[in-house]
Amino acid sequence: MAKPKRVNPNMFEGLQQASTDAFLHGHYLQSAIIMFQTVETLLRIVVLATAQSRGIMEEVVVETLQSEKSFYKLVFYLNLIDPDNILIPRLYAYNNTRNNVMHGLFDEFEDIKEYDGTLKAFCQEGMKLNNDLLNMMGINT
């Protein structure tokens, strides 16, 4: 049986701080990349915890989560096991925004400053999602 990977709290806090620092200095792309990864990490933890609370075999969930690379599919799994979760529409929208921004950077790239507003809003939503996911886990922010 595969063991779930543990999140290193110091590393996680460090990533959140790095994202916040980049955001405060106007480096929104850097902040967005880090923020997306922290949201994804928390999403994996929430999916595992929710599945366990619903009696789904841990081995199946751990194997699936460790091999899954798609954020969209992680949200889909959460939707399967907890369809009433109020964060699901926001998580899907967050993924769509990330896809649009990343493809836009390479397809329509003129100047990174064109994306500052979108990236700033993306980071702010990521910060809110981080807090909401932490609250779901019983960690008050």
User: Can you give the pLDDT at residue 114?
Assistant: 79
User: Can you give the pLDDT at residue 72?
Assistant: 96
Question: Terminal CA-to-CA distance of the chain, rounded, Å?
Answer: 33
Q: If you average pLDDT over residues 92-108, what whole number do you get?
A: 87
pLDDT grade for 133, boundaries at 50, 70 and 90: very high
pTM above 0.95, yes or no: no
User: Can you give the pLDDT at residue 109?
Assistant: 65
**Whole-number average pLDDT of the chain:** 87
CA atoms within 13 A on the CB side of 37: 15
Predicted confidence (pLDDT) at residue 4 exceeds the cutoff of 60: no
The domain 10-136 is placed in CATH, from the list 2.60.120, 3.10.450, 1.20.1070, 1.20.120, at: 1.20.120
User: Can you give the pLDDT at residue 1?
Assistant: 46
Domain boundaries, the chain: 10-136
Q: Report residue 90 as tokens.
A: 């926001």
- Residue with the two structure tokens 């049986």: 1
Is the separation of the CB atoms in 22 and 30 below 8 Å? yes
